Amino acid sequence: MLKGKVLEMLNEQMNREFFSWYLYLSAATYFNTLDLEGFEQWTRRQATEETTHAMKIYNYMLERNGEVVLSKIPAPTQKWNSPIEVIEAVYQHECELTGRINDIVRLTREVSDYTTEVFLHWFITEQREEEAMASRVLQKLKMIGNDMGGLLMLDAQVATVGQAPESAT
């Protein structure tokens, strides 16, 4: 049974993952207004993925007879000044999520909750991937600067990020 500080931190993380959904949805909306369809598709996929992360934690807590606490989800930034600003916010948020997951893992070790520690290993790997992708996109945006041609090329590239590869038949 989950209880105490581990359960509290898992509930907080679940709600952070739901906030991540909001953040990526806000980003997708912004990219839609700029007709950057690739960025919009990528951030929409990320939004959906974030709800999957939240539900993994939700289901785990129920499976371990833990009390699920659904908290108010704060509104994300909804006005952005540039694609770089959006992706910087996404990258910083992903780094913050990684730190929070690491904090939960540290606590699980302190209280000998190895079941939850093992459960969180998936999130550790996932966060490494999320941070790396956001960092790569951010670095490319910085290299592009104000070059609209470069932005459109990157937009086409990010449209495929996170899509399952088509099978050859």
Tell me, what DSSP letter sits at residue 81? S
- Decide: 9 and 107 in contact? Cβ < 8 Å: yes
Tell me if 69 is assigned to some domain.
yes
Count of domains observed in the chain: 1
* Cα three-residue angle 5-66-90, rounded to 5 degrees: 65
pLDDT tens digit string along 56-104?
Answer: 999 999 999 999 999 999 999 999 999 999 999 999 999 999 999 999 9
Tell me if 165 is assigned to some domain.
no
Task: Give, to the nearest 10 degrees, the angle between helix 37-63 and helix 114-144.
Answer: 170
Helix (H, G, I), strand (E, B) or coil at 164: coil
Tell me if 24 is assigned to some domain.
yes
pLDDT tens digit string along 9-25?
Answer: 999 999 999 999 999 99
* CATH number where 63 lies: 1.20.1260.10
Expressed as residue numbers, the domain containing 39 is 4-157
> Residue by residue, what is the 3-state secondary structure of 14-47?
HHHHHHHHHHHHHHHHHHHHCCCHHHHHHHHHHH
Above pLDDT 70, what percent of the chain? 95
